[in-house]
């Protein structure tokens, strides 16, 4: 089982993430490409909140397809196009993923994504074993 931790000698995380996640030897890894707010039919959801919720639903679908669950998540890399979207991103993450799963995480503010209408993209890594 993966073990998340926050060293006492490092500042408390600023959000729902862990500073480290230890993965046991021999674990199976699943690396999920950057997911954007497109639904299964290829329709981009409107606004940051709906796009973020769709991104997390896409990640859950990828986990399921790979034989894993949200408890197996070990790392997010989040790309937002505007720092004003952070609160909506966090609310969407809490709604879809919940607080019980706190993988390591990096959040970056970028000038743009593959399409100007895309506001968020998230890469995810999971491990089970």
- State pLDDT tens for residues 15-46: 889 999 999 999 999 999 999 999 999 999 99
Answer CATH for 31-128 from 3.40.225.10, 2.40.50.840, 3.40.1010.20, 3.30.1330.40 = 3.30.1330.40
pLDDT for residue 107 is more than 80: yes
Domain spans in the chain, listed from the N-terminal domain onward: 31-128
pLDDT value, residue 44: 98
Q: What are 51-77's pLDDT values in tens digits? A: 999 999 999 999 999 999 999 999 999
Angstrom distances, CA of residue 19 to CA of 42, 62, 82:
34, 24, 23
pLDDT of residue 101: 79
């Amino acid at each position: 089982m993966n073990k998340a931790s926050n060293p006492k000698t490092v500042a408390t995380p600023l959000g729902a993430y862990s500073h480290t996640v230890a993965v046991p030897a021999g674990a199976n890894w699943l690396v999920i490409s950057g997911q954007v707010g497109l639904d299964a039919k290829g329709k981009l959801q409107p606004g940051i909140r709906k796009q973020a919720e769709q991104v997390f639903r896409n990640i859950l679908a990828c986990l399921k397809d790979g034989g894993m669950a949200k408890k197996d998540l070990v790392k997010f890399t989040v790309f937002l196009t505007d720092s004003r979207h952070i609160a909506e991103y966090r609310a969407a993450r809490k709604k879809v993923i919940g607080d019980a799963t706190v993988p390591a995480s990096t959040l970056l503010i970028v000038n743009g994504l593959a399409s100007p209408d895309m506001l968020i993209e998230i890469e995810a890594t999971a491990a089970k074993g």
